[in-house]
């Protein structure tokens, strides 16, 4: 074997996270062997077990260590034993923000023999790319509840592009209690993700892209988004159409292959990408990547799926295709293609029973992984 070596941080996480990461990791290793490189995994135990055992969510020493690695591979975090938000914000979002991973790339692609709930109209299958902004919007983490009707919300935030400080103060009449959550959009934050979308559209040979927006109801934040995004797209020679996200969802369930590249603010991108995952065959086939100029992270778009954890019903294909995105990112394009082609061949050749449970077959997580591994 030649000398190419990569160090990849690995956080399998909770519930089905470790089940799918196990299969995907073996496949990445095999593809590496075939193409002359090796991966050394740096494993981190963070997630619900570690948290309940130690009280620690994500030690900063570990994050500092990861900074010099080639990539980060993550399964999913979240567990019914832990209050929602603690692990999701404390691990996943923390990593996205810390490493300024400003693009959340979510390809919605259909694969051979994967049953689609709605038949595409124009094309053979689905091939849409969601380019989701990944550091701002309602994900800033700025907000709070009132006390005796009063709110004093700390606006401090640190991002790769800027720091924010200040306070929002106000009160309801009559001591009414309530909660606030602040959405934030910055001009450079919008420009960099739209620029990424433009380059992706060009690489696909497309002259236009679509922005998921909602400036009719939320003109301050999404009107600003539209203005900046249109200007940025124009500079790249790409046409941009803003579509209200509610209508976009409506159009998508009727014509799932309507869009090429969709650029979206953080929260709309989250929602639209799960919708597209459903339309392209399931969360178990939907890969994702958090891309930035420093350490990038690779995670399937699905969560930890506690409802099927331990049953073998978790489809590892999403994690395997996410692994292909990782290989592509570190420069191992041929190895990435090997992985994606192996998934395709497996799906084309498998007997009905040998397909993942998610696609109507009987193959459990480990057998799906083994079948793809055999092909490589």
Backbone angles phi, psi at 184, to 5 degrees: -130, 140
Measure the CA–CA gap between 230 and 238, rounded to whole angstroms. Answer: 9
User: By CB under 6 A, is residue 58 in contact with ligand IPM?
Assistant: no
List the single partner that 93 binds among ligand IPM, ligand NAD, Mn ion, none, CB under 5 to 8 Å by kind: ligand IPM
CA dihedral 62, 63, 68, 73 (to 10 degrees): 90
273: three-class secondary structure by DSSP: helix
**Contact between residue 315 and residue 284 where contact means Cβ atoms under 8 Å apart:** yes
List the single partner that 307 binds among Mn ion, ligand IPM, ligand NAD, none, CB under 5 to 8 Å by kind: ligand NAD
Of residues 29, 88, 171, 354, which one binds ligand IPM by CB under 6 A? Answer: 88
Interface region with ligand IPM, contact rule CB under 6 A, candidates 86-94, 219-227, 246-254, 309-317: 86-94
Query: Per-residue string for binding with ligand IPM, 302-321, x by CB under 6 A?
Result: -x------------------
List the single partner that 190 binds among ligand NAD, Mn ion, ligand IPM, none, CB under 5 to 8 Å by kind: none
For Mn ion, which is the closer residue by CB, 270 or 328? 270
For ligand IPM, which is the closer residue by CB, 93 or 142? 93
User: By CB under 6 A, is residue 355 in contact with ligand IPM?
Assistant: no
Helices marked H in the chain: 16-35, 48-54, 60-66, 86-87, 94-98, 187-203, 224-235, 245-254, 266-279, 317-329, 333-349, 365-375
Query: Which residues contact ligand NAD (rule: CB under 6 A)?
Result: 16, 20, 76-78, 84, 88, 92, 283-284, 299, 302-308, 313-315, 318, 358
Of residues 79, 232, 270, 340, which one binds ligand IPM by CB under 6 A? Answer: 270
DSSP string of 133-154, one letter each residue:
E-SSBTTS--EEE-BTTEEEEE
Interface region with ligand IPM, contact rule CB under 6 A, candidates 10-18, 87-95, 181-189, 310-318: 87-95
For tokens 């992985």, the residue is: 339
Token pair, residue 60, equals 């900063």
For ligand NAD, which is the closer residue by CB, 136 or 274? 274
**Contact between residue 193 and residue 263 where contact means Cβ atoms under 8 Å apart:** yes
Give the chain's end-to-end CA distance (angstroms, integer): 17
* Subset of 231-290 contacting Mn ion (CB under 5 A): 270
CB 220 to ligand NAD: min, Å? 28
72: three-class secondary structure by DSSP: strand
CB 76 to ligand IPM: min, Å? 8
Strand partners, 74: 11
Token pair, residue 181, equals 């959550």
User: By CB under 6 A, is residue 301 in contact with ligand IPM?
Assistant: yes
CB 82 to ligand IPM: min, Å? 12
Tell the burial category of 162 from Cβ atoms under 10 Å away from its Cβ (0-12, 13-18, 19+).
exposed
Q: Which residue is nearest to ligand IPM (CB)?
A: 88
For ligand NAD, which is the closer residue by CB, 16 or 63? 16
Contacting positions for ligand IPM (CB under 6 A): 88, 92-93, 270, 301, 303
Contacting positions for Mn ion (CB under 5 A): 270
């Amino acid at each position: 074997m030649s000398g190419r070596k990569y160090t990849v941080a690995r956080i399998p996480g909770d519930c089905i996270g470790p089940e799918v990461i196990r299969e995907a990791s073996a496949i990445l290793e095999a593809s590496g062997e075939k193409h002359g490189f090796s991966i050394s995994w740096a494993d981190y135990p963070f997630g619900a077990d570690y948290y309940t055992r130690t009280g620690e969510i994500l030690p900063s020493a570990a994050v500092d260590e990861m900074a010099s690695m080639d990539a980060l591979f993550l399964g999913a975090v979240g567990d019914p034993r832990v209050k929602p938000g603690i692990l999701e914000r404390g691990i996943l979002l923390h990593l996205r923000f810390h490493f300024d991973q400003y693009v959340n790339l979510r390809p919605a692609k259909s694969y051979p023999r994967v049953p689609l709930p709605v038949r595409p109209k124009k094309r053979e299958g689905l091939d849409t790319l969601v380019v989701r902004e990944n550091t701002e919007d309602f994900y800033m983490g700025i907000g709070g509840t009132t006390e005796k009707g009063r709110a004093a919300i700390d606006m401090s935030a640190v991002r790769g592009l800027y720091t924010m400080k200040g306070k929002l103060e106000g009160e309801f009449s009559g001591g009414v209690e309530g909660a606030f959550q602040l959405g934030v959009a910055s001009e450079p934050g919008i420009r960099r993700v739209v620029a990424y979308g433009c380059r992706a559209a060009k690489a696909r040979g497309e002259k236009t892209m679509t922005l998921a927006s909602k400036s009719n109801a939320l003109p301050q934040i999404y009107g600003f988004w539209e203005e900046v995004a249109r200007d940025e797209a124009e500079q790249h020679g790409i046409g941009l159409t803003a579509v209200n996200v509610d209508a976009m969802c409506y159009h998508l369930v009727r014509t799932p292959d309507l869009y090429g590249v969709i650029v979206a603010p953080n929260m709309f991108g989250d929602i639209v990408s799960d919708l597209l995952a459903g339309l392209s065959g399931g969360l178990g086939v939907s890969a994702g990547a958090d891309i930035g100029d420093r350490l990038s992270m690779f995670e399937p778009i699905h969560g930890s799926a506690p409802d099927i954890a331990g049953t073998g019903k978790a489809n590892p294909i999403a994690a395997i295709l996410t692994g292909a995105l990782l290989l592509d990112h570190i420069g191992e394009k041929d190895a990435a293609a090997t992985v994606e082609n192996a998934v395709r061949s497996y799906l084309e050749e498998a007997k009905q029973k040998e397909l993942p449970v998610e696609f109507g077959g009987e193959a459990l997580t480990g057998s799906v992984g083994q079948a793809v591994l055999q092909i490589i």
